[in-house]
Structure 1
Amino acid sequence: MTTQDILNYTPTTDSLADKIILVTGAGDGIGKVASLTYAKCGATVLLLGKTESKLEAVYDEIESLGLAMPAILPMDLEKASFAQMNELATLIQKEFGRLDGVLHNAGVLGALTPLEMYDPITFEQVMHVNGTAVFMLTQALFPLLVSAPSGSVVFTSSGVAKVRPFWGAYALSKQMIEGMSTIFTEETKNHTALRFNCINPGATRTNMRAHAFPGENPLTLKTPEDIMPAYVYLMTDMASGVKGQVIHCQPK
């Protein structure tokens, strides 16, 4: 399966039938659209985010469509402890019995400024939310994921993961994510069915993109809906052989 085949994949109402998938940052942007899309493809979606009202809005939209009942999991990844993440894993095991996939979508932009001027507190926040917390949550959920028949972890990367001046902690955090995916892959690929991959959504019409490029016309960008084929495909059983890849949704 080539990258182009993945990008051209056509999701169906049963692409993710009976799967349990957790999405972080599920209340906004790509996370919200991915949650709705996964639900439309048959999955039970666990909506994780820090703003409960936004999660409730996504929950209500899924419910109004008559799809599998989602669950709301309020969690602020900047403040959540590893113990709380382990408690979350225990709750998922108790309520759902398993976990088939995780989309690590939550993230913060931080500042766009030279490293010599970068505020250390902001730096630490970005690296924690975009990197350390992703590692912690993955580790907490690992026993559930590795026991799934075809567990899938999808990390969100970025085009700036390839050294981009002035993007500071955000660029460094995405380099960390791609490295994390590679290491997890190498450590698990020969003895488990679990797979780790990254998605680079590219220039997409989101609030974060608008903050990063305030002078850009958002109507020239693809919408989150436009890039969903790759997000769905990596969660399907058809992607069982795709491990350690970075899928660029908008290759140049």
Structure 2
Amino acid sequence: MSKSMLKDHVILVTGAGGGLGSAVSKTCAAAGATVILLGKTIPKLEKVYDAIMAASGPQPAIYPLDLAGATENDYRDLAATVEREFGALHGLVHCAAELGALGPVADISGGLWQRLLHVNLTAPFLLTRELLGLISKSGDSGIVLVTDSVARTGKAYWGAYGVAKIGLEGFGRILADELESRKVRVHLYSPGPMQSPLRRRAYPAENPTDLPLPDVHAEQIARLLSPSETPSHAYLVNNA
């Protein structure tokens, strides 16, 4: 991957302190992008920041935000800050996710259901909506929504997380169709099994060393954000 593939691009990554989010952030920075690190845990974001700076990447920005508690005004403030500080946004990668507890539908509380749908579906919608004007006017730009194979299988015991990912794929396809003529590429990316905190919670008996690191997926996602590397029409990248 070229070190200048994303030169002069501004990329916002949610869940930037997590397994995939941190890998995507570092990979985009290595390709020349200025990365906005969005997440709820500041020490994790600072660790990614330090890694990017140590690798001589463009100086990233840290934007702490807890998607579970963020309001519409918080997203509007974020969009205004990005426009004021950077003037453009060429890429948005939705890596943030919350699994909750796996189990039968009968055992899911209303509060947990609402929280998981909010974090995994409503928050990506609100954030995308508020940033869409800036993304649209930044030229050839891209949006990547990280999904999961459970969105295509309706797998038992995956409850609200599974329902949210089904909804996220529908949202992505609708958004792609709406934006096809506006030079905004929308991609759904399903990484499949990989080493990550979410995977460890879902499959605690699994040996994580048998799984690939998130880095290979981070490189694929970075390529989806480059107009020279990507077809103009949206599609699903499914590694499950």
TM-score norm. by structure 2 comes to 0.96
Structure 1 residue 15 corresponds to structure 2 residue 5: yes
The equivalent of 1:176 in structure 2 is 167
Structure 1 residue 75 corresponds to structure 2 residue 65: yes
Q: Which amino acid aligns with 1:167?
A: W
3-state SS of the aligned residue for 2:233?
Answer: coil
Q: What is the rounded CA distance, in whole Å, between the counterparts of 1:55 and 1:148 in structure 2? A: 25
The equivalent of 1:156 in structure 2 is 146
Which residue, 32, 35, 40 being the options, matches 1:50? 40
Unaligned runs of 5+ in 2: none
Q: Percent identity?
A: 36
**Is the Cα contact below 8 Å between 1:150 and 1:240 reproduced in 2?**
no
Which residue, 136, 143, 165 being the options, matches 1:146? 136
**Is the Cα contact below 8 Å between 1:113 and 1:168 reproduced in 2?**
yes
Q: What is the rounded CA distance, in whole Å, between the counterparts of 2:56 and 2:226 in structure 1? A: 22
Deviation readout 1:199-238 (Å, 9 max, x if unpaired) = 0010010011011000001111111012223211110012
Which residue, 92, 96, 112 being the options, matches 2:82? 92
- How far the C-alpha of 1:240 sits from its partner, in A, is 5.1
3-state SS of the aligned residue for 2:8?
Answer: coil
Aligned residues: 239
Task: Note the aligned Cα RMSD (angstroms).
Answer: 1.1
Deviation readout 1:48-70 (Å, 9 max, x if unpaired) = 00011111111111112221000
Deviation readout 1:58-101 (Å, 9 max, x if unpaired) = 11111122210000001001111111111111111111110000
Unaligned runs of 5+ in 1: 1-10
Q: What is the rounded CA distance, in whole Å, between the counterparts of 1:228 and 1:31 in structure 2? A: 8
Structure 1 residue 34 corresponds to structure 2 residue 11: no
Structure 1 residue 204 corresponds to structure 2 residue 194: yes
Q: What is the rounded CA distance, in whole Å, between the counterparts of 1:221 and 1:119 in structure 2? A: 32
Structure 1 residue 113 corresponds to structure 2 residue 113: no
- How far the C-alpha of 1:239 sits from its partner, in A, is 4.5
**Is the Cα contact below 8 Å between 1:19 and 1:43 reproduced in 2?**
yes
Q: Which amino acid aligns with 2:173?
A: T
Q: Which amino acid aligns with 1:187?
A: E
- How far the C-alpha of 1:243 sits from its partner, in A, is 2.8
3-state SS of the aligned residue for 1:231?
Answer: helix
Q: What is the rounded CA distance, in whole Å, between the counterparts of 2:28 and 2:89 in structure 1? A: 14
Distance 1:216 1:58, change over 3 A: same
Q: What is the rounded CA distance, in whole Å, between the counterparts of 1:186 and 1:227 in structure 2? A: 24
